[in-house]
Amino acid sequence: MSKIVATLIAGLFATSVYAQTTATPATTTPATKAAVKADKKAAKAEAKEEKADVKADAKLEKKAAEASSDVAVAKADAAKKKAKAHKKATKAKVDAAADKAEAHADQKADAAK
């Protein structure tokens, strides 16, 4: 039953749309041409404004990308410095162990005399 009612209502709306006719103007007047010109100018202004908005968005995205790349470079530099410091610390430990072993060997040699 509800399908039948829905079909009848849809048909009613469809026929009401086709029953209405729009009046077409016979000729365009200079006032209409001026309105069209004004609409054209407004459309150009909107396009120009949208273009400026897009440019600003692109600049922001570019800055964000640069900032993220700067962060990546900073992280890489930090990792490089950390590795270098670790290498120096390891070398210092090895040198200290060698010095300690040498001192221990000298002490043994002195004790043996």
Could you give the dihedral angle defined by the CA atoms of residues 26, 31, 37 and 38, in that order, rounded to the nearest 10 degrees?
A: -130
| Type and span of the H or E element at 21 | none
For the segment 12-23, the average pLDDT, to the nearest whole number, is 66
Structure tokens at 59: 């600049």
Q: Using the structure block, give the residue that is written with the tokens 């270098």.
A: 84
CB atoms within 10 A of CB 29: 10
Return all residues near 25 (Cβ < 8 A) that are at least 6 apart. 32
Least confident of 12-21, 32-41, 57-66: 12-21
Q: Per the confidence metrics, is the pTM higher than 0.75?
A: no
pLDDT in tens, 58-107: 888 888 888 888 888 888 888 888 998 999 899 899 988 888 888 888 88
Q: Is the pLDDT of residue 23 over 60?
A: no
- Mean of the pLDDT values across residues 43-60? 87
| pLDDT confidence bin for 28, thresholds 50/70/90 | low
